[in-house]
Amino acid sequence: MAVRVRPDLAGITGYVPGRTVPGAVKLASNESGIGPLPSVVQAMASAGELINRYPDNNASVLTAKLAAKFGVDTEQIVVGCGSVMLCQQLIQATCAQGQKVAFGWRSFEAYPLLTRTAGAEPLMVPITEQQALDLDALADAVIAEADNVGLVFLCTPNNPTGTTLSREEINGFLAKVPGDITVVLDEAYREFATDGSPDGTEFLVDDNGNPRDNVVVLRTFSKAYGLAGLRVGYAIGHPALLNAVRAVHVPFSVNSLALAAAEVSLDAEDELTERVGTVTTERARVTDELKALGLPVTESQANFVWLALGEGTAAFDAFMQEHKVIVRAFAGDGARVTISTPDDNDAFLRAIRDYAGQA
Ligand SMILES: Cc1ncc(COP(=O)(O)O)c(C=O)c1O
């Protein structure tokens, strides 16, 4: 007799991470190319001495520090095992079986997977030709199925295209969609945005200064803070929504080393800002060169660039791999390339100059 598993999981293969190939430069996962700060290593070593104990399930110290940083109450913060787990918790907290989770496509590749494994259904709205989220079309799609939509993800800067949403676009969207639908502003790459796009936390209140209970901002320590391997992210939002997110938290899923590292990282903002500055300078250098080569690159506001290569994506991916550079390819759409250290970026540029010569 075959084991009984949920039939709706048939065909779902799980998340496919960026590849790591020995000897190749990995530019496939939007990680920081620089190792951890010395203060972070020190804090983890000290926390390691207490590793026989469970972590603080409420992440009290980190929560208090984040609340102070953003000028909010501690019940407006939830810490999670990476912001990806908070995405999952938000879906679980808002969507009943068969309800819809709306998002632009292409966007973060975990959204459809997390939606389906929660028993919900993706409502995917194509991005524009300029590779940006189409908030008018997304609002129309949400309104058309309003009773059945539990949550919307707005990813800004958008992974993998790097485009951001303007204040007018977000305000317009929030004014149009019903106020009982949760809108998640996924800002995993916020620290890299230099285009004056708004900080999602400003939408936690409406124009009259009244709190919105349906808006939540997601941030992570994985990207600008360089702690991808530790798995820690956080949500900022209204207590009414975050209490439901806390209800579906997997106990002790944020470990003690991650908490200690995130806490000290918040004391090292100057060093981290400098690191982010190096990435944004490198992003401009790489983007200019890709443009000069005549390649279809978007103006990214994140720590990666996006090449909308369409049907040429698979061949580009294979070429890069042959040249020992691992990018993240989405067949038929394009390739995302992480901005890393100047040396890694140079390796990518050398390979792509060859590609452009051949293409
Ligand atoms: C848009 C977006 N959101 C969330 C995440 C999850 O990041 P983490 O779970 O490492 O915090 C990622 C990771 O790539 C991402 O690109």
Query: 1-15: per-residue pLDDT in tens?
Result: 999 999 999 989 888
Per-residue model confidence as pLDDT tens digits over 258-310? 999 999 999 999 999 999 999 999 999 999 999 999 999 999 999 999 999 99
Distance 329 CA to ligand 1 centre (A): 17
Q: Does domain 17-35+269-358 have CATH number 3.90.1150.10?
A: yes
End-to-end CA distance of the chain: 54
Atom of ligand 1 nearest to the CA of 108: 1
Percent of the chain past pLDDT 90, that is, above it, reads: 94
Mutate to test the pocket of ligand 1, among 79, 220, 221, 236 (most ligand atoms within 8 A of CB): 220
Question: Going by C-beta distance under 8 Å and a sequence separation of 6 or more, which residues neighbour residue 341?
Answer: 33, 34
pLDDT confidence tier of residue 89, bands split at 50, 70 and 90: very high
Q: Hey, where are the domains in the chain?
A: 17-35+269-358, 38-265
Mean pLDDT confidence for 229-257: 98
Cis before residue 157, ω within 30 degrees of 0? yes
Residue 180 DSSP label: T
Q: What is the Cα–Cα distance from 136 to 121, expressed in whole angstroms?
A: 21
Bridge partners, residue 338, by sequence: 304
Helix (H, G, I), strand (E, B) or coil at 352: helix
Q: What is the Cα–Cα distance from 190 to 219, expressed in whole angstroms?
A: 8
Residue position matching structure tokens 């919105």: 212
Q: Is 309 in the pocket of ligand 1 (CB under 6 A)?
A: no
Give residue 315's identity as a one-letter amino acid code. A
pLDDT at 93 over 80: yes
Q: Is 217 in the pocket of ligand 1 (CB under 6 A)?
A: no
- Where helices occur in the chain by DSSP H, the ranges are 38-48, 60-70, 82-94, 110-117, 135-144, 167-176, 239-247, 256-265, 269-292, 313-322, 342-358
Distance 109 CA to ligand 1 centre (A): 9
pLDDT at site 113: 97
pLDDT at 248 over 90: yes
Distance 29 CA to ligand 1 centre (A): 10
Distance 155 CA to ligand 1 centre (A): 10
Phi-psi region of 38 (alpha: psi -120 to 50; beta: other; left: phi over 0): alpha
pLDDT at site 131: 97
pLDDT at 358 over 80: no
Sign of CA dihedral 320, 322, 325, 327: positive
pLDDT confidence tier of residue 220, bands split at 50, 70 and 90: very high
Per-residue model confidence as pLDDT tens digits over 158-194? 999 999 999 999 999 999 999 999 999 999 999 999 9
Q: Other C-beta atoms within 10 Å of 280: how many? A: 18
pLDDT at site 20: 87
pLDDT confidence tier of residue 359, bands split at 50, 70 and 90: low
Distance 84 CA to ligand 1 centre (A): 5
Distance 159 CA to ligand 1 centre (A): 9
**For 38-265, which CATH class?**
alpha beta
Q: Is 345 in the pocket of ligand 1 (CB under 6 A)?
A: no
Distance 225 CA to ligand 1 centre (A): 13
Q: Is 226 in the pocket of ligand 1 (CB under 6 A)?
A: no
Q: Which token pair is 15?
A: 């998340």
Residue 187, classified by CB atoms within 10 Å of its CB into exposed (0-12), middle (13-18) or buried (19+), is: buried
pLDDT at site 51: 97
Q: What is the Cα–Cα distance from 148 to 211, expressed in whole angstroms?
A: 24
Sign of CA dihedral 106, 81, 98, 93: negative
- Mean pLDDT, all residues of the chain: 96
Atom of ligand 1 nearest to the CA of 228: 10
CA angle 338, 279, 156 (to 5 degrees): 65
pLDDT at site 19: 84
Largest CA distance in the chain: 62
pLDDT at 225 over 90: yes
Ligand 1, atom 3: closest residue by C-alpha = 188
